[in-house]
Amino acid sequence: MTQTETAAAAGKMQRWIHHMIQLQDLIFARDQQQASMPGARLSTLDASIQQLENDLPDELRSHFVKIHKRGALAIVPIANGVCSACGMAIPVSQVHAVHAAERIYTCPSCARFLFFQSSAPRRISSQRRRSEPAQVGIARFSAPQLMIPQLAGAERDEIIAEMSARLESEGFVDSAARLAEEALKREAIASTAVDQGLAFPHVRGVEGGGLTMALGLSRKGVKFGGKTNSRIIFFMVIPTAASAFYLRLLSGLTQSFREEAARDALFESDTQEALWKALTKATRQTVQ
């Protein structure tokens, strides 16, 4: 195969990889809507998902659908030389081959499609000291320093940038700008705003640590794309392996703040510590 033919083949494979990533993102967006707004009409998303599935070559489509029916992600990035879904170490030669994208490879262990992700924001993994007790409930995913009682931003993009900066300044990610960019790409697929003034912007595939959540309050509210302005914003950083669990956390948060009293309790908090206390109290029964 000539250099020109090799480049053409790689370009074609990259297009199919991006196609499957887009399809998976739409499926995840639909699942997110179902978790946060039970009973919501999802006909537009369903039609888009079906169209993307139909556009895949038969072999790719059948394997994608087969893997997804297991309740699992069908295409995942290689992170630090391992499959980010199952954790199996990928031979160096195959890592290079996935990067070259002359054809589409699958993980030898879990059979998911693999792709090479070179520009995603990286989460910084912080090790808990052995003397510290194991965390429970919402403390498994967040911390008082990730509470923002008064967001300064007046627009959606400003809010996302502000919360990304907090995650970086507290050592949870190493690129706030890249994190904000990816979050806005996700918002372009479908708004993460739901009823009761809640919004759940998030970025998946940020490897190197566990699921992490920041909480910010906008007293006046900002337009996130829902019917009403969003005033309570949960911003989550989701490693690939935690994608399914994120939906359970999302469902728990939605259940917790369906009640007006729980939402009001957040807005009575004017410090990080008070907001953290209100959050942990409201989620004690719903987030385990």
List the single range of 1-15, 18-32, 151-165, 241-255 with lowest mean pLDDT.
1-15
Domain annotation covers residue 287: no
pLDDT at 9 over 90: no
Give me the CATH number covering residue 62. Answer: 1.10.287.1490
Residues 6+ apart with CB under 8 A from 66: none
Domain annotation covers residue 126: no
Exposure letters 209-223 (e unless 16+ CB within 10 A, then b): bbbbbbbbbbeebbe
Distances (CA, A) of 265 to 15, 105, 143, 235: 48, 50, 18, 19
| Cβ–Cβ < 8 Å for 34, 42 | yes
Higher pLDDT, 70 or 5: 70
Q: Which pLDDT does position 230 carry in this prediction? A: 96
Residue whose C-alpha is closest to residue 86's, from 246, 249, 244: 244
Which structural domain, as residue segments, surrounds residue 262? Answer: 137-282
Counting residues of the chain whose pLDDT is more than 90, the rounded percentage is: 62
Confidence of residue 36 (pLDDT cuts 50, 70, 90): confident
Give me the CATH number covering residue 254. Answer: 3.40.930.10
Domain annotation covers residue 288: no
Q: Are 100 and 141 in the same domain?
A: no
pLDDT at 248 over 90: no
pLDDT in tens, 138-177: 999 999 999 999 999 999 999 999 999 999 999 999 899 9
End-to-end CA distance of the chain: 55
pLDDT in tens, 58-113: 999 999 999 998 877 899 999 889 998 898 999 999 999 999 988 999 999 999 99
Q: Are 168 and 264 in the same domain?
A: yes
- As a whole number of Å, the CA-based R_g of the chain is 20
Q: Are 247 and 159 in the same domain?
A: yes
Q: Are 278 and 188 in the same domain?
A: yes
Last residue of some domain: 86, 116, 146? 116
Mean pLDDT of 200-220: 91
Confidence of residue 128 (pLDDT cuts 50, 70, 90): very low
Q: Which pLDDT does position 60 carry in this prediction? A: 96
Q: Which pLDDT does position 129 carry in this prediction? A: 40
Q: Which pLDDT does position 102 carry in this prediction? A: 87
Domain annotation covers residue 84: yes
Report the number of distinct structural domains present in the chain: 2
| Strand order, beta sheet including 82-83 | 82-83, 75-79, 113-116
DSSP code, position 92: H
pLDDT at 234 over 90: yes
Q: Are 256 and 149 in the same domain?
A: yes
Q: Are 169 and 247 in the same domain?
A: yes
Q: Which pLDDT does position 240 carry in this prediction? A: 82
